[in-house]
Structure 1
């Protein structure tokens, strides 16, 4: 399914006429649908560790910037040294100030201002970062975080987008949306489990 086919399904479900185009349209309802679809996809991408969003990138050295499409670290590790040893996280700048000054055999990392710092510094050379990308939209071989054409597709099951956009539309129009939201939540759990192989 594409952005256009998703919105077509939503239009059918909420009983409004389909649009000739979504992206670039000046129709207020099309713009609202586009906004709902973007919000829905952003939410769905954040709420699960979708296999299609898992990425690995090599850090050249301590102090390297995070990847441009970085959303969050992958669960259960995140950053490992070139030899496969996991590098332990530090989440507090005060702790990092001490750890980065004291010699240690155990490597640590600290993410600050969009960069990854590693101590001891040499442990960052060739380290791998496992993360989840924020780029949940695909068009051909290109991944991106925002819709830009009507034939863009999502990397997760698009029926989730349809259900999410429907409840958002109903909520915006002041209609009851609890049933639609409950259906979306139930389907989301099912799809997350399926994506994990459960």
Structure 2
């Protein structure tokens, strides 16, 4: 569904004139809709780590570099994301304090783990990655919109653009925020938006099989159990 159709649906509910043009229109209402569609699309994208926006990134070491440029479409890391190295058997440690990073560089202590931090729009890795060593992590792309030629972009600019996530959710978001901005009663519209958002979040990662008992946190270091029956000697 193109963004113009999403706006048409919202306009119908809001009692506005149904537009024949959104991006390119100069009327006050449609200029507001242009901005509102992009604002609410970004708000929806920030609400959850939607699988459609997740990208697996791999950096490969050369034995010299300790810093790697972030992808051009990088918005943020997955909220629960870890960075995994081919050198270590566990996730590397994330340092959020620049002072901790400096301490790591100047303290003559042998490390038994990998560390990483972000600054200067780069991901920094310590120890320096050996040649062919890799680190992997998921990040959220900022490309929320698909153009009519199937290219991806960060925001709506044309009526034929489509939202990569739920268009129905975007319509409800535009409706409730429009009402809120205009000082109208918006609580029911907001509740409708929140209910649908939770439903979309629930189904987005796929099925959730019911597991009896406490599953292991990781299979790392575990072997497959013997499928037969062990009995005592006769």
TM over 0.5: yes
Please state if 1:70 is matched with 2:77: no
- Give the superposition deviation at 1:182: 0.9
- Give the superposition deviation at 1:128: 2.1
Higher relative contact order (CA 8 A, sep 6+): 1
- 1:110 equivalent in structure 2: 117
Asked whether the 8 Å contact 1:72–1:133 carries over to 2, the reply is yes
- 2:40 equivalent in structure 1: 40
Deviations 1:158-183 (A, max 9, x none): 11100000011111222111110111
Asked whether the 8 Å contact 1:59–1:129 carries over to 2, the reply is no
Structure 2 residues without counterparts, runs of 5 or longer = 209-234
TM-score (norm 1): 0.92
Answer with 1 or 2: which has the greater Rg.
2
Root-mean-square deviation over aligned CA pairs? 1.9
2:145 pairs with one of 137, 141, 144: 137
Q: Which structure 2 residues correspond to residues 43-122 of structure 1 after superposition, within 5 A?
A: 43-60=43-60, 61-82=65-86, 85=89, 86-101=91-106, 102-122=109-129
Tell me how many residue pairs correspond in the alignment: 198
Q: Which moved more, 1:65-74 or 1:182-191?
A: 65-74
> What secondary structure sits across from 2:76 in the alignment?
strand
Write the distance in 2 (CA, Å) between the matches of 1:153 and 1:84: 41
- Give the superposition deviation at 1:27: 1.5
- 2:162 equivalent in structure 1: 153
Large movers: runs of 4+ above 4 Å:
none
Write the distance in 2 (CA, Å) between the matches of 1:138 and 1:78: 28
Q: Which moved more, 1:126-135 or 1:88-97?
A: 126-135
Structure ranking higher in helix proportion: 1
- Give the superposition deviation at 1:142: 1.8
TM-score (norm 2): 0.78
